[in-house]
Amino acid sequence: MKIDVHAHVFPRITREEAIAANERAPWLAEHGDGTGHIMQSDARFRPVEARLWDAHARLRWMDDAGIDIQFVCATPIMFGYAWDVARTAAWCGRMNDRMVEFCSVDSLRLKPLAQVPLQDVDAACREVTRARASGHIGVQIGNHVGAAGLDDPGILDFLRHCASESMPVLVHPWDMMGDERMRRWMLPWLVAMPAETQLSILSLVLSGAFERLPTSLTLVFAHGGGSFVWLLGRVDNAWRDVRLRNEDWLLPWEPLRPAGMADPARDRTAFDARCAARDRERAADHAYPFGVFVDGQLAGEVNINNVTRGALQGATIGYWIDRERAGQAYIAEAVVVLMRFAFEQLQLHRLEICIVPRNANSRRVVEKLDVRCEGLAERYLEINGVWEDHLRFAITLEEWQARADDLTASWLAN
């Protein structure tokens, strides 16, 4: 069976209907011979064929292409994210009803995805709920609303609502980036469109937004994920670069790598294995690693390790920072974020931070946060081939609850 998960529809929209929504809203000019133009006001936007608005023509075309099922959605020019909210909401409702009507010609083969007024999260959520009840099986959104990307708090709330309604989300690039150089040769579609998808996926990854979304949410990125897959190696390079630049800064404070084990900073296979291990640890509720990013650049890591459930309900915290970023309180801020996550989401009761006494930089972090020191554990952990004493600092849920407001206000207010 061949299933097409991304195909556009443009209903028979009259000029009068379009103007009622917005002066730049698109409408269809048919030529009477199975062709037409999508129009904006008096300007031609794109030539189109009948399969874009005629379901019978679409089904014939699917037969010729050997497509069994097709998920259909609005042409992105129909989104209307810059229009008046009330008019956009009404427009989306009408277009979604027409999408259901289009698919009713053969509901086994044509499956509708709704559009929403994404510039207003409440209105968008209401339309998702209405569209689901009317027969839509998912929703399509553009990858941004002005400067608000997919990691915007409001858009994340919308995605959570989609998950609660069991509505998969197709993310389509639109309103593409670029200066005057991008205006030639259809470069917005050939270059900027895959870059928009790359930007959106990395925004979700690097902001930690994926960690804050329910695992029940299904996200599909149009066009095979744009340039993301092909440029994934550059994302890997960010971690390797900062680790290699900081070897003499970091290795004295880390466990010695076992003999024969490849260095993940130098060996791609070892790096892939490291990432896979982190995924398994997270899935098993054993560890939760996070990147620390400054000005969009990877600057270090802060991790919850050794999660123990049962009577203990505890874990340890570890961290490192790029030497160029040290002393600027980035790790202290990240540790507060991690504490909030550990106590309020993972429901842990106790966190420990264990530090070699002479590691003044790491000690400065817990001193800034006034984390309680419980004493010295002799020969506690192997560090760079030596069994080192460690100072053990700890905070419990009760202490967090008493201090959460102050810590949040001091470190996370901006």
Q: What span, in angstroms and rounded, lies between the C-alpha atoms of 163 and 168? A: 7
What's the CATH class of domain 231-411?
A: alpha beta
Give one word for 342, left, alpha or beta, with left for phi > 0 and alpha for psi -120 to 50. Answer: alpha
Question: What digits encode the pLDDT tens for the residues 355-410?
Answer: 999 999 999 999 999 999 999 999 999 999 999 999 999 999 999 999 999 999 99
310-339 average pLDDT score: 94
290-314 average pLDDT score: 91
Q: How far is CA 288 from the centre of its chain?
A: 17
Question: What digits encode the pLDDT tens for the residues 155-164?
Answer: 999 999 999 9
Nearest to 333 by CA among 395, 408, 401: 408
Contacts 24+ apart (CB under 8 A), 80-83: 80/21, 80/22, 80/25, 80/117, 81/117, 81/118, 81/119, 81/142, 81/145, 81/146, 81/175, 82/119, 82/146, 83/21, 83/22, 83/24, 83/25, 83/119
What pLDDT, on the 0 to 100 scale, is given for residue 230? 80
Strands 26-30 and 35-40: antiparallel
Q: Which CATH code, of 3.40.50.2000, 3.40.50.300, 3.40.50.2300, 3.20.20.140, is assigned to 3-227? A: 3.20.20.140
Question: What digits encode the pLDDT tens for the residues 253-281?
Answer: 999 888 888 888 888 888 888 888 888 99
Judge if 3-227 and 231-411 fold alike in CATH terms.
no
What pLDDT, on the 0 to 100 scale, is given for residue 241? 84
Evaluate if pTM is beyond 0.85. no
Question: What digits encode the pLDDT tens for the residues 169-225?
Answer: 999 998 888 877 877 888 887 888 888 998 899 888 877 788 788 889 999 999 888
Give kind and range of the element (H or E) at residue 122.
helix 121-134
What pLDDT, on the 0 to 100 scale, is given for residue 84? 94
Domain boundaries, the chain: 3-227, 231-411
Q: Given a cut of 90, is residue 98 above it in pLDDT? A: yes
Query: How many Å from the N-terminal Cα to the C-terminal Cα in the chain?
Result: 51
Q: What is the DSSP string of 27-95?
A: EEEE-SSSEEEEEETTEEEEEEEGGGT-HHHHHHHHHHHT-SEEEEEE-GGG--TTS-HHHHHHHHHHH
40-57 average pLDDT score: 93
Q: Given a cut of 70, is residue 87 above it in pLDDT? A: yes
